[in-house]
A and B are shown apart, each in its own frame.
Chain A
Amino acid sequence: MGSSSTETKMMRLNVEIWRQAGPSDGGGFESYKVEASPDMSFLEMLDVLNEKLMADGREGIAFDHDCREGICGMCSLVINGQPHGPENETTTCQLHMRNYKDGDSITIEPFRATAFPIVKDLVIDRSAFDRILQAGGYISVNTGAAPDAHAVQVPKVQADLAMDAAACIGCGACVAACPNAAAMLFTAAKVSQLALLPQGQAERSSRAIAMVDQMDKEGFGACTNHYECMAACPKGITVENIARMNRDHLRASFTSRD
């Protein structure tokens, strides 16, 4: 009796996956059948499929992944129309196959945005985010010994809000979910995490302008306030950050002396 309750019941799934040989290839969907255990993560299900494909002498499906602990921001995928799948505040690597049942069909697409060109299959190039950060997502300090932890006091409310914004792992689900492929939630989180802290004040104006400027240059869309980004975000970043960035940008545009 004990053994039957712990026995893993394998499920058969029909998966349709976007395959694209390279950046200039047209690409299209291909169907596969795969057996998965409910205990597997979504990426492990893809690993199993890849092993099967390679054993058959076919090319494996390329997809991004790294830590598989939900903190690195490398995994992506739009699963049945939802970035990172159906679980709230969960990355694809932390999504488990127990969310699916035998016979289910699953459609897997890459994050879609002109600013995130497809490298191969489900792998996208998210270096546009890196360039937005390079434009102003930093504070200028001399390197050296770490400063005293409590040398600069930060009130609890501010510290909490800054930490909430800093939870962004830069995965790009906000862009994928946005009907306009806007990078507002990402950029706003990166602007906010510094704007809320004393160390971020000196460059607050130039940062808001430079990062929004770079965001526009990368070809991301503009926000039309559907808040799909917030629902898709695996780290629960709120659109309050977008309003904060809008305020910073507006103020900086008219008052900055830089």
Chain B
Amino acid sequence: MNALRRFLTSSLGQKTLMALTGLGLVGFLVAHLAGNLTLFQGAEALNEYEHKLESFGPLLYVAEAGLGLLFVVHIGLALRVTARNREARGVGYRQRTHMGESTVASRSMLISGLVLLLFLLVHLIDFRVPKAMGSDSVEDMGVAVIDRLTSPIGFLIYMVGLTAMGLHLRHAFASAFQTLGVSHPRYSLWLRNAGFGLAVVLFVGFASIPIYLMFQS
């Protein structure tokens, strides 16, 4: 127990947890996209998918709680580690020239993460909270989602959220593997490219849905 506590309070232990929860959330995004893609077959297909999920009954709540835990641990540790990193620099430089592989994506992880968090809250208030309160407005989830995605403001918020997601993943995926100690000259570059590819695929995948819906209507 003592060893576990020491690991979880160490900077490396906290980063390991961030990497694991982050990769877990990537898995969730892939599953979420798979669900959303049913919209290509219309609102009814999404409703069917939703009913299927609901048929899991209490198990669905367990899964949701697990997902919530991933978010809480990932975000909580991110804030903690960032605060510690700011403190470690102290007085900043007047001039700084980047020479390494730091990118806009890698330097804006906190910002893209916070934008994603805001998007997540809006998203939950839109769909999950009314549903939990038994509101009638979301009885037909498929139609509600299509309405939201094809309204100008809804579309804009969605695209901002997706951009933050793409930017975040661009750095996050390969970074998580490096933190977990997965690194080798033979495949490190491949992992970085895979992270970029994953960001593009998820961005295009999610963005294609409202664009398709708008062309259709």
Known A80-B95, A114-B90, A250-B12; contact A226-B100, beta-carbon cutoff 8 A: yes
Q: Which of B13-34 contact A (CB under 8 A)?
A: 13-16
One digit per residue, 1 when the CB lies within 8 angstroms of any chain A CB and 0 when it does not, for chain B 170-187 equals: 010011001111111100
Known A225-B171, A225-B175; contact A112-B106, beta-carbon cutoff 8 A: no
Q: Which of A227, A242, A244, A250 contacts B101 (CB 8 A)?
A: A227
Known A109-B94, A224-B85, A224-B106; contact A243-B183, beta-carbon cutoff 8 A: yes
- Tell me the nearest residue of chain A to B185, going by C-beta: A240
Q: Is the CB–CB distance between B94 and A225 below 8 Å?
A: no
**A237 interface residue per 8 A CB criterion:** no
Q: Which of A202-224 contact B (CB under 8 A)?
A: 209, 212-213, 215-216, 219-224
Q: Is the CB–CB distance between A253 and B3 below 8 Å?
A: yes
- Interface extent on A, as a size class? 35 or more
Q: How many A-B residue pairs have CB under 8 A?
A: 141
Distance between Cα atoms of A242 and B92 in the complex (Å): 24
**B143 interface residue per 8 A CB criterion:** no
Q: Which residues of A contact B84 (CB under 8 A)?
A: 221-222
Chain A contact residues: helix, strand, loop or mixed: mixed
Distance between Cα atoms of A78 and B81 in the complex (Å): 25
Chain B contact residues: helix, strand, loop or mixed: helix
**A228 interface residue per 8 A CB criterion:** yes
**A239 interface residue per 8 A CB criterion:** yes
Q: Which of A29, A181, A213, A228 contacts B98 (CB 8 A)?
A: A228
**B93 interface residue per 8 A CB criterion:** yes
Q: Is the CB–CB distance between A247 and B181 below 8 Å?
A: yes
**A177 interface residue per 8 A CB criterion:** yes
Number of residues from B at the complex interface, CB < 8 A:
45
- Tell me the nearest residue of chain A to B12, going by C-beta: A249
Q: Which of B15, B93, B185 contacts A78 (CB 8 A)?
A: B93
Q: How far is the CB of A13 from chain B (nearest CB, A)?
A: 16
Q: Is the CB–CB distance between A246 and B10 below 8 Å?
A: no
Distance between Cα atoms of A247 and B173 in the complex (Å): 18
Q: Which residues of B contact A29 (CB under 8 A)?
A: 94
Q: Is the CB–CB distance between B7 and A225 below 8 Å?
A: no
Q: Which residues of B contact A81 (CB under 8 A)?
A: 93, 95-97
Q: How far is the CB of A195 from chain B (nearest CB, A)?
A: 12
**B52 interface residue per 8 A CB criterion:** no
Distance between Cα atoms of A243 and B88 in the complex (Å): 21
**A230 interface residue per 8 A CB criterion:** yes
**B6 interface residue per 8 A CB criterion:** yes
**A180 interface residue per 8 A CB criterion:** yes
Q: Is the CB–CB distance between A242 and B178 below 8 Å?
A: yes
Task: Name A's B-contacting residues (CB within 8 A).
Answer: 29, 78, 80-82, 107, 109, 112-115, 177, 179-182, 209, 212-213, 215-216, 219-232, 239-240, 242-247, 249-250, 253-254, 256
Across the A-B interface, the 3 shortest Cβ-Cβ residue pairs = A243-B183, A247-B181, A221-B88
Given A80-B95, A109-B95, A221-B84, 6 more pairs with CB closer than 8 A: A82-B99, A114-B90, A115-B88, A222-B85, A225-B179, A246-B181
Can you list 18 A-B contacts with CB-CB less than 8 angstroms, sorted by A residue number? Answer: A109-B95, A114-B87, A177-B100, A179-B102, A180-B88, A209-B6, A215-B11, A216-B10, A222-B14, A225-B106, A225-B175, A226-B107, A232-B100, A239-B183, A246-B180, A250-B12, A250-B16, A253-B6
